[in-house]
């Protein structure tokens, strides 16, 4: 009790002195002695801010403070010092982990704004993602004093090429854009990058999937010989390794494992559907949810078009997004998304990945993705900025393997149906009550185990998987 009393007496005094001397750039250390507190005042520097400890310059620290950004995320803490010190870096983290600032901040710190030459190139797989990165740059740039300003240009496809070439006559110090358009301008020497010694490859696995690695390779080959490369990706596929080995020297590999693969406030729902009636089930489900804004995911461009056409025929407010949608239309759709001018966006994974859409209340999966990591990316579109969200998936018996794999990643599903104006859990039928139940999924058992049963079951599974592959083509 004596110790507690002493704490109560001494701590307010200690805090009062700190408050009084804070402006004098003085720090304190507390020394605990048996039953009382004493403290010593040390002349010297004040306590360093989190970004100051990462060696970010004062101008950028002030800019971060100006936009309300006070504490670095884990990926930022772990990669920024390495990038500032000139190391090659591979950063693995999920959407929403703060990786954009993880490379923007050290690049802006290192760029010499007195040199009128390209010093850094940032590549992203889609126009929308490149534009988002550029917008994040502008947020910081607006907070910088005039003598610390950095010139940057967004270079993306779907824009007037001649006008872009004209703008490049004022040489930027940083280039942010899509690999195809940057490569086109590099080939014609309208964009000179041999002076640049910093290259960022964002969403590298998606670059690989979309066939852009060759363009990135060509850009990198035209840059400075002593090239520092920073690669950010949710996954690092084996097929990406040759490219990484070609340009990276002993890269620092930082893998940020999320505490939860998806946000805690996402409810994962399974809705039973039959294959021959799946489209009408989707439309009914979408109407029953009546979301503020929902993204409906499908695996192919053809399926996206079929869903969007069917929803439109039902009078629903819907737009589509996939690789065949013209650039101007895509840009217009994204503007309308931000203004919440329609209720449903039907999209493929590659078209939607990396795009920051605010206010997504629901995700509806018409089908499970072939690569189950994409399920996590899909779900990550909702429940952002402290909000809750629902990720609903139409579920067929052939999807049991996918659900089981996701359960192994600690994702918990609820089987639900719409009844009497509300979504309620599905109660097991009498037949199902004697069967194995996992998250509302009933796995029938044979009455008797006959010789060769396992072999027959394996053959049936293979047939079902083949049928599923045919249906998703």
pLDDT one-digit tens code per residue, 304-324: 999 999 999 999 999 999 888
CA 399 to chain centre: 25
> What are the sequence ranges of the domains in the chain?
2-42, 50-255, 266-443
Give me the pLDDT at residue 157, please.
83
Give me the pLDDT at residue 110, please.
97
Residues 6+ apart with CB under 8 A from 380: 94, 95, 96, 262, 263
pLDDT one-digit tens code per residue, 269-304: 999 999 889 999 999 999 999 999 999 999 999 999
Residues 6+ apart with CB under 8 A from 363: 294, 295, 297, 378, 379, 381, 382, 389, 390, 391, 392
Band (pLDDT 50/70/90 cuts) for residue 150 is very high
pLDDT one-digit tens code per residue, 413-455: 999 999 989 999 997 655 544 445 544 454 444 445 556 666 6
Q: 266-443 in CATH: which number?
A: 3.40.50.300
> In terms of CATH, what superfamily is 50-255?
P-loop containing nucleotide triphosphate hydrolases (3.40.50.300)
Q: Say if 50-255 and 266-443 have the same CATH topology.
A: yes
């Amino acid at each position: 009790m004596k110790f507690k009393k002493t704490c109560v007496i001494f701590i307010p005094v200690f805090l009062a002195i700190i408050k009084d001397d804070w402006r004098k750039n003085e720090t304190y250390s507390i020394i605990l002695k048996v039953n009382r507190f004493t403290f010593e005042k040390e002349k010297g520097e004040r306590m360093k801010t989190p970004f100051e400890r990462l060696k970010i310059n004062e101008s950028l620290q002030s800019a971060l403070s100006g936009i309300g950004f006070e504490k670095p995320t884990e990926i930022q803490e772990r990669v920024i010092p390495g990038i500032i010190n000139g190391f090659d870096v591979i950063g693995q983290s999920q959407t929403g982990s703060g990786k954009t600032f993880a490379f923007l901040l050290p690049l802006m710190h290192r760029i010499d704004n007195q040199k009128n030459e390209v010093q850094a190139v940032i590549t992203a797989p889609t126009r929308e993602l490149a534009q988002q990165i550029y917008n994040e740059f502008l947020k910081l740039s607006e907070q910088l004093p005039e003598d610390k300003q950095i010139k940057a240009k967004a270079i993306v496809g779907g824009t007037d090429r001649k006008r872009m070439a004209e703008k490049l006559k004022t040489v930027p110090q940083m280039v942010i854009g899509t690999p195809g358009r940057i490569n086109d301008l590099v080939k014609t020497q309208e964009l000179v990058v041999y002076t640049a010694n910093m290259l960022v490859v964002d969403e590298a696995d998606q670059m690989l999937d979309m066939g852009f690695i060759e363009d990135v390779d060509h850009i990198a080959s035209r840059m400075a010989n002593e090239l520092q490369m920073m690669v950010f990706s949710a996954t690092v596929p084996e097929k990406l390794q040759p490219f990484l080995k070609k340009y990276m020297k002993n890269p620092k590999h930082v893998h940020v494992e999320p505490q939860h693969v998806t946000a805690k406030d996402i409810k994962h729902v399974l809705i039973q559907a039959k294959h021959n009636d799946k489209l009408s089930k989707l439309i009914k489900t979408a109407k029953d949810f009546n979301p503020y804004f929902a993204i409906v995911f499908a695996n192919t461009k053809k399926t996206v078009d079929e869903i969007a056409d069917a929803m439109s025929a039902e009078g629903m407010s819907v737009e589509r997004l996939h690789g065949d949608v013209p650039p101007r239309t895509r840009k217009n759709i994204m503007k309308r998304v931000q203004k919440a001018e329609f209720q449903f966006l039907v999209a493929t994974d590659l078209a939607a990945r990396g795009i920051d859409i605010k206010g997504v209340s629901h995700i509806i999966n018409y089908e499970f993705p072939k690569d189950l990591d994409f399920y996590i990316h899909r779900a990550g579109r909702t429940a952002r900025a402290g909000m809750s969200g629902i990720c609903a998936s139409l579920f067929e018996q052939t999807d049991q393997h996918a659900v089981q794999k996701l359960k192994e990643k600690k994702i918990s599903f609820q089987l639900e149906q719409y009844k009497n104006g509300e979504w309620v859990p599905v109660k097991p039928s009498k037949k199902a009550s004697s069967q194995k139940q996992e998250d509302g999924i009933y796995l029938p058992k044979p009455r008797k185990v006959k010789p060769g049963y396992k072999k027959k079951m394996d053959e049936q599974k293979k047939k079902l998987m083949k049928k599923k592959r045919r249906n998703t083509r």
